[in-house]
Structure 1
Amino acid sequence: MAANDTEDRRTRQKVFQSVLDEGPITASSLAKALELTPAAIRRHLDALESEGLIEVRELAGKQAGRGRPARHYVVTTAGHDSVSHSYDELAVNILRFMEDRHGKSAVEDFTEDLVARLRDRLGAELDKRGGTTVASRSRALAAALTREGYAASATPVAAGTPLEAMQLCQGHCPIQAVAAEFPEVCEAELAMFSDYLGVDVRRLSSLAQGDHVCTTHIPTSELTRPLIHSNDRPQGGSR
């Protein structure tokens, strides 16, 4: 019995991780990816939903037959909190102290340095694997961020049109609680993305603001992407 319980917990964790990485995602897609029966995937999804770790989103334009919107699963705020670092509260308190004692500029300097250090950690890999196009560099950035715990993916949108772009999605944020109170973290992160990709990027949704994923729009069409020339880029990562 104990062995069965352990295996059940492992499978449920795989389901949760898949929703975290791939959400919004349907039950049928999860069952196929994890090689589970419809009954098994439903049991695990129901359990995760009852625990408040995932929830259903009905996405406009995605039908499940007979005109009904398809049911897609995403991780809830509580679900994200369950995998967040235990030092979130400490980090928030430190930044509050810095802001009280030294002003907003001290927080901005700290967050810019924090993101610059992330860029430095990723630097060699990004420069080696990124390639020369915005699309290939977007995919390399997503892969590197995933290894840092951001559950990231890069997907082309509007391909073959003047509005073609990449969408960088981050299904998890290791410092979500910090970013929720100090948006300077997100601003510094976007500056780092722009610096690396060489184009202006735009945040469409944010975990810190209650969305189920952080989505960044990255223009790739020559007609729509304003380039950041090398002599215009900030020095030292995101600064």
Structure 2
Amino acid sequence: MKNVGEAQEAPSGAPQDELATGERSTRNRVARSILDHGPSTVAELAGRLGLTQAAVRRHLDALVADDVVAPREQRVYGARTRGRPAKAFALTDCGRDAFDQSYDKLAADALRWIQRTYGGDAAVIAFARARLAEQATAYREAVESVDPDRRTEALAKALSKDGYAATARSAPVGEQLCQHHCPVAHVAEQFPQLCEVETEIFSQLLGTHVQRLATIAHGDGVCTTFIPKAPQPPPSPKAPRAASAKGAPDGAPTISQTTHNASASTAGRNPA
């Protein structure tokens, strides 16, 4: 019987996506086994999962390429045997993050304690402002380094560096700042003050009133903020130079000036 984890050609008529799904499932089993049992050799993984060592190596190569696991020299206790010790594969930080974490619960519990202990919603808002203060410094540098009409785009790029996958696009009478990912969405769902303070920071950075149209925390697909177009300053008044009437010498009154003068001279008088 052929092993599920081994590289096989797709059976005639077998959908490629089903084969790919099976590959991902087996790869996840390899990573999960390392999570449950700690750094493991190819032989140990093959024995636990019922795969051939060749199949395990293939899946490990893919996991290493994705920065999910990394090889390292296995520690040897007692007398060394001949030959190099087998490499053990351990999860990277990125690999651990792929599994369920309780960071969101920890953050929500901490905010709930702050809210209960230090003054309700005002305390949560104060925390959110302090949290964003350091990030806002980098955002401000990015925004102030470009022309005013490119500031929303600069803010989007700065947000993307912090994991928000942000973009800027034109909208009627303004622009939209779209955040396609929110690292704190699950916590913000319970504490919308985080979104409120973020909107407040955007307004300060861009120097204009902004309006939050949608948030991932509220169940929308994208966090969307509307930035109105800055009003253009009125043009400085200039006295228009009256064109001379055709054939009139320079300095001679034009037709419009003559009409205006006539109107002004008859103002307040009854017609004959």
User: TM class, shorter-chain normalised?
Assistant: 0.5 to 0.7
- The answer for the alignment partner of 2:183 in structure 1 is 174
Contact 1:85 1:175 in 2 (8 A): no
Per the normalisation by structure 1, the TM-score is: 0.54
Alignment of 1:103 onto 2:119: yes
Contact 1:205 1:215 in 2 (8 A): yes
Give 1:110 shift: 0.2
Give 1:93 shift: 0.3
Greater RCO (CA < 8 Å, at least 6 residues apart): 1
SS in 1 for 2:168: strand
1:34-72 deviation per Cα after TM superposition (whole angstroms, max 9, x unaligned): xxxxxxxxxxxxxxxxxxxxxxxxxxxxxxxxxxxxxxx
More strand by share: 1
- The answer for the alignment partner of 2:144 in structure 1 is 127
Give 1:138 shift: 0.1
How many aligned positions are there?
143
- The answer for the alignment partner of 1:93 in structure 2 is 109
- The answer for the alignment partner of 1:44 in structure 2 is none
Contact 2:153 2:168 in 1 (8 A): yes
Give 1:126 shift: 3.2
1:143-195 deviation per Cα after TM superposition (whole angstroms, max 9, x unaligned): 1111110111100012xxxxx21001111100111211111111110111011
- The answer for the alignment partner of 2:163 in structure 1 is 149
SS in 1 for 2:209: coil
Rounded Cα–Cα distance in structure 2 between residues aligned with 1:5 and 1:86: 30
Rounded Cα–Cα distance in structure 1 between residues aligned with 2:162 and 2:99: 13
Task: Determine what percentage of the aligned residue pairs are the same residue.
Answer: 39
Rounded Cα–Cα distance in structure 1 between residues aligned with 2:165 and 2:188: 17
Give 1:95 shift: 0.4
Q: CA RMSD in A?
A: 2.8
Residue type of the alignment partner of 2:163: G
Give 1:85 shift: 7.4
SS in 2 for 1:108: helix
Rounded Cα–Cα distance in structure 2 between residues aligned with 1:92 and 1:216: 24
SS in 2 for 1:150: coil
Rounded Cα–Cα distance in structure 2 between residues aligned with 1:83 and 1:168: 31
Rounded Cα–Cα distance in structure 2 between residues aligned with 1:199 and 1:124: 17
Structure 2 counterparts to residues 59-70 of structure 1, below 5 A: none
Give 1:125 shift: 3.1
Rounded Cα–Cα distance in structure 1 between residues aligned with 2:115 and 2:99: 27
Rounded Cα–Cα distance in structure 2 between residues aligned with 1:145 and 1:119: 10
Structure 2 counterparts to residues 41-52 of structure 1, below 5 A: none
Residue type of the alignment partner of 1:193: F
Unaligned segments of structure 2, at least 5 residues: 1-6, 9-18, 25-97, 233-272
Residues 1:86 and 1:172: Cα distance change in structure 2 (over 3 Å) = farther
Give 1:122 shift: 2.9
Contact 2:143 2:152 in 1 (8 A): no
Rounded Cα–Cα distance in structure 2 between residues aligned with 1:150 and 1:165: 21
- The answer for the alignment partner of 1:206 in structure 2 is 215
Per the normalisation by structure 2, the TM-score is: 0.48
More helix by share: 1
Unaligned segments of structure 1, at least 5 residues: 10-81, 159-163, 224-239
Rounded Cα–Cα distance in structure 2 between residues aligned with 1:140 and 1:88: 29
Residue type of the alignment partner of 1:115: L
